[in-house]
Structures are given as C-alpha cells and as structure tokens.
A = this chain, B = another copy of it.
C-alpha cells in the first residue's frame, strides 16, 4: 500500500496532534505544514524532518502529491480554506465545527459533492474505543430502544472570546449523539438555555434539550465554570443501560443489565405500583482496546479516499451538528423554546 501525501493547515491548538498522527500512521506522507506563523508551524513539527513549512496555502494546494489536506484553522476561516482545497481537487479533513454557520457548511458539502471529493469532519470522539463500543451496543440492538442520553461536559474551561460554550464544547456531544443514534432517532428539534454569570458576553453555562422519537430525550450540560472536570454520559436503553465516564481510564464504559418495564394493566384495571418490573442484573465493563482516537481519524480518511466512499463522520454529519447549534442559538435568542431543525435548514 503506497502512502498518500497530506498537508496540515493550521498549527495552533489542534494542528500538532494531526501532525503527530499523520506522521505515525502507515497511510500518510506528511508533506506540508502551513500556518500564517511560520515559527509556529516549525515548532508544531517538533523537529520532525522531511516536512516542508510554509505560510502560503497556494503552495500547498499546487503540490500534486498532496492528496488531502487537514484544516485546523479557526472556524471562521474554514469556508475559504476548505473551498480552496476542494477547488484544487484535494480531499479534506476539517476540524469541528465544519463551518462557522450552517449556510457555509452547506456550501462546503455541496462543493465536495460536485467534485466527488471526500469531505470528512474530525469528530475525534467518535473514533475513541468507548464511543465505538457504545455505537455498537446501540446499533446491534443489545441496548434495546434508546430511552435517554444525558451528557455532562463541564470543567474550568477556557472562556472563549468569540464563541459561546454551546459552540465550543457542544460539537463534541452533538457529534457523538449523531454517531451513536440510529438515523430514525436523530433529534429534529432543540431547546437551549444559557447563563452568563461572569459577564463574558455569551453563554458560559448551557443546557440543550432534544426530544427523541419514542418519547425519549437527549440532554447536554456544558459548563466552563465548573471547579472540576466531569465527562459523564448516561445512555438508557430498554434492555441495557450504559454509564460512560471518560475520566475513568480503567472503567470507561459500564454496561448494566438493568431496567424498568411496565406491565400493562388489564382492561379497566387501575395502574398499580406492582405492575412495574425492575430488572437488576450484573454490570459488565468491557475491555476496550488502547489507542489514540486520531489514529482512527486519519485511517478512516485514508480508507474513505481509497474506497471512494463517505467517511463515517462525513460532511453531512457535520451539517447535522451545525443545524443543532444554529437551532440552539435561535432558541437562546428567542427565550428558550423549542426550535425545529426545519426552521434553520
């Protein structure tokens, strides 16, 4: 298997991780790191040899050996950079969120479609062993019907100057939700509430509520002002229930054989407490393979290009995340009521 040439655009916070993983995997030949700050690009390479550094995106896109580019620039610049890359015939991996707005995201997806190029979102969490395992439990039916997904992602976080906590942390939970839910259960509306008790000018403590089919619900708590880090997701199913504690490396996923079942009362009979049955079985913590999620990302990018297929987290998945974020923003502006995704599409 020959390697493919790749370039990383943007050497700030996330770029170095992409660089490291493109260097480490078997699929890729990292040819360029491009950043407006040449020194930063050089530092991001951490002495790695054989990789060219440039401040000129055009130079990268002119290189015929570059098959794909990974865009890790600020969200505000995604549209321009990704469109240029697609125009140059490059496949594109783009940092979350796909674009700074849904409309621009739609433009990117359309452009990739027209040109038959892969547009992949770097929804890194989806490639962790924990999330892959959860998806498997849901998709295989082992979990039963999804009853609720409750996600908490809080820490003493970097209060961003330009985006609120929903747009900063939300893409993680929303992309995971998109990844693990069956298509027919994907949320179609969202209500958001945000508090800004420190006067940052936008939401620092936020909640998203998304009704799901079957009278189920997904809920996300995002908070930059928590004294400790919590990253816990509960996923209730009619057959099994999952606790995913991402901060417990020795037991990230606990799968409980527990649940509540209602026995329907006979005709004319009043419902009684006794007609609820509780299942209280064992808990299993499956062993998860080790491994960095970004290795899965760069491998999936390569595989989708080679096989001419959409990647697991394609541009459309990125669009669905943007739809939820835009609807959430509109909900915030209009007092917290539910916004149908159709209203923003």
Interface residues of A, Cβ cutoff 8 Å to B: 23, 45-51, 145-148, 150, 152, 154, 156, 158-161, 191, 193, 195-201, 204-205, 207, 209, 211, 214-217, 219, 221, 223-229, 234, 236, 238, 241-243, 247, 250-251, 254, 256, 258-262, 270-273, 276, 278, 280-287, 335-338
Contacts and interface: CB of A to CB of B under 8 A. Distances in A.
A124 to B, nearest CB: 20
Given A225-B260, A337-B335, A197 B285 contact: no
Contact of A150 (B200, B201, B223, B338): B223
A145 B136 CA distance: 35
A258 B250 CA distance: 13
Given A193-B211, A227-B243, 16 more contacts: A46-B48, A148-B225, A150-B223, A156-B258, A156-B260, A156-B280, A158-B276, A195-B215, A197-B215, A197-B236, A201-B271, A205-B236, A227-B234, A229-B250, A251-B283, A282-B286
Candidate in A159, A196, A243 with the most chain B CB atoms within 10 angstroms = A159
A161 B271 contact: yes
Given A282-B287, A284-B282, A227 B241 contact: yes
Contacts of A145: 197
Nearest to A206: B217
